Amino acid sequence: MSSIFPFETILTLSILGVLLLIGFILRAKIVFLQKFFVPACITAGIIGLFLKEIGFLPISKNILETLVYHIFNITFISLGLSPRTNRDSNRKKEELRGILIMGLLIASVAALQFIIGGLLTVLFNLFGYNLFPTFGFLVTMGFEEGPGQALSIGKTWENLGFVNASTVGLSFATIGFMFAIFLGVPLVSWMIYKGYTTSSGEKLPSSFITGVLREKEPAGFQTTHPSTLDSLTFHFSLIGLVYLLTYGFLRLMEKLLPSDLAEMYWGFFFIWGLLIAYILKVSLEKMKLDYMLDAGLQSRITGWSVDILVTGAITAISIQVVWMFIIPIAVISIVSGVLTLLWILYFGKKLWERYKFERIAGLYGMETGTIATGLILVRIADPRFDTPAAIDLAVGGIVALPLMFLMMHLMNAPILLGWNLTITTLSFILILGIIVMIFGLISMKKK
């Protein structure tokens, strides 16, 4: 007897939830996972991938990818709706300078990774590989942007001729997490040992190590009375409003733009959603209604979406496809992971005056994983969040957004404009050169 309604989507979401519970339990029990502060979502995703590949987990790749795409969009919309804290509006000149440097460094790392991906793709094709022109650019999507964007752009490129692009992008994202954890954690430990961080020698709480809170902490505050509408429902409903507005905007773009460009914009749904969410938040502030937004509840929604997103993205990888491209993926990933670290270390130490190592730690975690792994590395270097490093990660991303938006359009030039890959890569070199010139001006003012 068949079921009355289809269960595939809710069962998939439930399976991801069970995998997260397993990852949570393993983090609480296994010393290795505690030593490297491996998030439950990464452990859950790896377990899910293994079980799926051996045929034990009856889960649809298409449903997984659809869930990841939409939850990724929800993540950015939630970030856009997060209310500003008092600290954000009372920045000292030095702290504003720190945010500017963070934003420029984020953009410079993206340009660097685009260059590495582009040059190595050209090199591999010279040696007989027949890689799609934008193959190497997916390392930036996976490392810099994370699994959601890697999947989103990958699916869009698949419709434009890049076979298995989503799996390649998710593979880069997963390897990026490995760099963030297994290179990032020892890096921060070395910083603490050398006394480079402000809280060197300070012991992390056991709850941070095991992931289990023995004493309950508030998750947020009620802003609507439950007799009419629960506060969590209110915050999710705002996300739904932004999602519908973004969907309508992109439908309009389909009618106004060339078909290829309009299709590409669906891969940028998260950016449009972020911008529309930010406009809605500012509008609520202007109308003196922003008191209805709660940072704690919004943060819980963002955290939920990131956990599901990462678990689903890793589970959705196809090992068979990864094996087909194992050498290019491995080489591009290793070169990107190492050069990204050296780049951030060099310019971070040169440009930031204070809290440089806390900021370097967070930036490397974010530029190879997500903002969640960035915050993990900041927490190790700065257990009580006494430095502005954590806030700078989020605010710096907004500063970097215009340059990131430009580069995300540029990476599509070989597909949409028929540009030669070498010319496209040279364009990224030009962008990086301009940013480095700005770094030089900042260094001169510092002196």
Per-residue model confidence as pLDDT tens digits over 288-315: 998 899 988 988 898 898 889 889 888 9
Residue 215: what pLDDT? 79
Give the Cα separation of 392 and 206 in Å (integer): 26
Taking CA 400 as the corner, what is the angle to CA 395 and CA 405, rounded to the nearest 5 degrees? 130
**92 burial type by CB count under 10 A (0-12 exposed, 13-18 middle, 19+ buried):** exposed
Asked if 42 and 23 count as a contact pair (C-beta separation under 8 A), the reply is: yes
398 alpha carbon, distance to own chain's centre: 13
Rounded to 5°, the CA angle 223-296-98 comes to 130
Per-residue pLDDT tens over the stretch 140-191? 999 988 888 888 889 889 988 898 999 999 999 999 989 998 898 888 888 8
The residues near 234 (Cβ < 8 Å, ≥ 6 apart) are 223, 224, 292
Question: Which two tokens mark 113?
Answer: 């990774």
List, for residues 199-242, the tens digit of each pLDDT value. 655 677 788 788 888 878 888 899 999 899 999 999 999 999 99
Q: What is the pLDDT of residue 1?
A: 47
Angle between helices 326-351 and 356-368 (to 10 degrees): 160
Pair of tokens at residue 160? 């434009």
Find tokens 């070498």 and name the residue.
422
pLDDT value at residue 90: 47
How far is the C-alpha of 395 from the C-alpha of 388, rounded, in Å?
A: 10
Q: For the residues of 183-205, what is the DSSP string, one character each?
A: THHHHHHHHHHHT-STTTTPPPP
